């Protein structure tokens, strides 16, 4: 008979849970790294003066922001082995979540670039800085400051997005707990624990981002 909340069941499967959490964070971290690379590349394309590149960037962002992650998860999972690329479920999930996340990161970087403003660029030019010097020394640090809270949200949604990887049997949190549920029928305990685990992970991430934000950018943020 299933119980309301079976603490013993959760404690007995503590190792599976811990490994699930590690896998969730590993997949989240890998997908995030990939999405930063794709985001930067996407922004460079979108902001390019060359028309075809700009269109490519635009197409990338709109395509991935207007389709569900599952589509890409299945496309990579079923499609890559068909063309002879066998990489394992973890990599397929990382590619799907990372490339889609890149579209959102592109928009975060674009927003930050727009927020820094033309007068900063002109001031840097007036001081005799070259284009790339102005970008590296003047604009990028300010863009990072502007984009930091949005990047924090992106980290959280990437970690939450990894739950979908359970459908292609990546052994992350949701998958591990689903297996325990399938063999014991204690679905209430199992999915409560799953929700609590994500809640704890997300709270830790949110609090660390807020602390880092206060520490690094606190003096630049007005009205806080």
Q: Which helix (H) or strand (E) holds 175?
A: helix 173-184
Residue with tokens 């033309």: 118
Out of 47, 167, 209, 213, point to the residue binding another protein (CB under 8 A): 167
The rounded distance, in Å, linking the Cα atoms of 20 and 7 is 18
Contacting residue, 55, 185, 216, 220, with another protein by CB under 8 A: 185
Minimum distance, C-beta of residue 6 to another protein, in the bound complex (Å): 11
DSSP secondary structure code for residue 172 in this structure: S
Token representation of residue 81? 């082995």
Q: Which of 55, 21, 36 is nearest to 104 (CA)?
A: 36
> In the set 7, 22, 44, 70, which binds another protein (CB under 8 A)?
70
Using the rule CB under 8 A, is 168 a contact of another protein?
no
The DSSP code for 13 is T
Asked if 55 is part of the footprint of another protein (rule: CB under 8 A), the reply reads no
Using CB under 8 A as the binding rule, whether residue 178 contacts another protein is answered as yes
- Answer for which of 160, 179, 209, 217 binds another protein (CB under 8 A) is 160
Q: How far is the CB of 125 from another protein (least distance, A)?
A: 33
């Amino acid at each position: 008979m299933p119980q309301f909340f079976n603490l013993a069941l959760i404690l007995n499967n503590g190792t599976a849970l811990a490994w699930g959490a590690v896998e969730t964070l590993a997949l989240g971290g890998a997908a995030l790294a990939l999405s930063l690379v794709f985001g930067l590349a996407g922004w460079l394309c979108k902001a390019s003066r060359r028309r075809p590149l700009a269109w490519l960037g635009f197409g990338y962002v709109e395509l991935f922001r207007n389709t569900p992650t599952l589509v890409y998860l299945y496309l990579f999972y079923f499609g890559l082995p068909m063309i002879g690329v066998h990489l394992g479920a973890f990599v397929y999930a990382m590619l799907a979540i990372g490339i889609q996340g890149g579209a959102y990161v592109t928009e975060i970087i674009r927003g930050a670039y727009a927020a820094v403003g033309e007068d900063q660029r002109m001031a840097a030019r007036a001081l005799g800085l070259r284009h790339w010097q102005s970008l590296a020394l003047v604009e990028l640090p300010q863009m990072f400051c502007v984009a930091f809270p949005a990047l924090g949200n992106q980290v959280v949604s990437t970690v939450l997005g990894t739950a979908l990887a359970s459908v292609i049997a990546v052994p992350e949190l949701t998958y591990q707990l689903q297996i325990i549920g399938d063999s014991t029928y204690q679905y209430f305990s199992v999915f409560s624990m799953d929700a609590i685990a994500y809640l704890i992970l997300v709270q830790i991430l949110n609090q660390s981002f807020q602390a880092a934000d206060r520490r690094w950018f606190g003096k630049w943020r007005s009205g806080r």
